[in-house]
C-alpha cells in the first residue's frame, strides 16, 4: 500500500513540508515519484517517519537521527530501543 505525501503527513501528524525536508536531508526518500511529480510512501517509509518524529521529539538533531537510522537497520531492535527511551523520559 502507498500513500501520497499529504496522506502520510496527515496520518503522522506532521506536514508535507516536513516530509520534503526529511527527504532533502536524505532521511526519508519517497518510495516512488509518480509521473505527475507527486511523492508516494509505503509502509516502510511510514515506520521510518515515525522513528524520525520520535527521535525529534526526544531532542535529537537531524544529523544524529541520520546516524541512528543508518546504524540501526533492524527495525524491531530499533523500536525496542525507542520504547526504552520513552520509558526513561516518562
Query: Domains plus CATH for the chain?
Result: 2-89 (1.10.1660.10)
What percentage of residues in the chain have a pLDDT greater than 70?
Answer: 92
87 or 7, higher pLDDT:
7
With beta carbons less than 8 A apart as the criterion, state whether 82 and 51 touch: yes
Compute the average pLDDT of residues 51-71: 89
Q: What is the pLDDT of residue 10?
A: 94
Q: pLDDT-derived band of residue 17, with 50, 70 and 90 as boundaries?
A: very high
From 5-14, 27-36, 51-60, 78-87, the region with the lowest mean pLDDT: 78-87
Average model confidence (pLDDT) across the chain: 88
Amino acid at each position: 500500500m502507498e500513500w501520497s505525501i499529504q496522506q502520510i503527513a496527515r496520518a503522522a501528524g506532521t506536514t508535507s513540508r516536513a516530509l520534503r525536508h526529511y527527504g532533502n536531508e536524505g532521511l526519508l526518500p519517497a518510495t516512488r515519484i509518480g509521473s505527475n511529480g507527486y511523492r508516494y510512501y509505503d509502509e516502510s517509509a511510514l515506520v521510518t517517519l515515525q522513528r524520525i518524529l520520535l527521535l525529534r521529539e526526544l531532542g535529537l538533531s537531524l544529523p544524529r537521527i541520520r546516524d541512528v537510522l543508518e546504524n540501526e537497520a533492524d527495525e524491531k531492535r530499533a523500536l525496542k530501543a525507542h520504547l526504552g527511551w520513552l520509558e526513561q523520559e516518562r
